[in-house]
Structure 1
């Protein structure tokens, strides 16, 4: 790890226990669906990173500044207000066909899975995994 260390590190916490405590119930159910989808697409088991991020796979990064660390290849967090997806390689701007969402720096925010087209979301996750494989080969 870099000098300061990472704030979000992989833990040994129980992912299912974490998901069971997510509120509201709709977010908990959506979280379980996303966890199963990401596990299937990545071929990796879910792991808790920090207190609230569920990640799949891992990669090691090293910046020109010398900072380095490990992070999940893809991840999401079932926050109280919305689902936050941590996907890379999606480019800038809108994601046509996805449905109701918003973008942040490196994040995709969705209020509920019923607001989006799950086939488009699956394609975005696959695109992110392919980007990670090209940028950080296993």
Structure 2
């Protein structure tokens, strides 16, 4: 297993990245899980390390859909703890479809949220 993509959940704390939401991939590069973790200190070389606080299966993605994080909103409020499946399009904001979770900042658990209340910024527009 190796870490795939992910994002820092800063929550305005002094530490720039106390929590992370990301993906785990198997040896073939296939995404198999979404995890949440919390910074738990530094090793003897000063490298930060984290403890996984929750993990769920990676969602099944239909064609032209992808998992988005770090740029999502819940009830129109930016929330870097939200991760959602969105359908690719040329729109600025992409509504979540069928699958959305939020990392609870207290417990570190991945909590299912109503996808109808989630949208994510379309970062692919910046690549064009």
TM class, shorter-length: 0.3 to 0.5
With normalisation by structure 2, the TM-score equals: 0.34
Q: Name the structure with the higher helix share.
A: 1
With a CA cutoff of 8 Å and minimum separation of 6, indicate the structure with the bigger relative contact order.
1
With normalisation by structure 1, the TM-score equals: 0.32
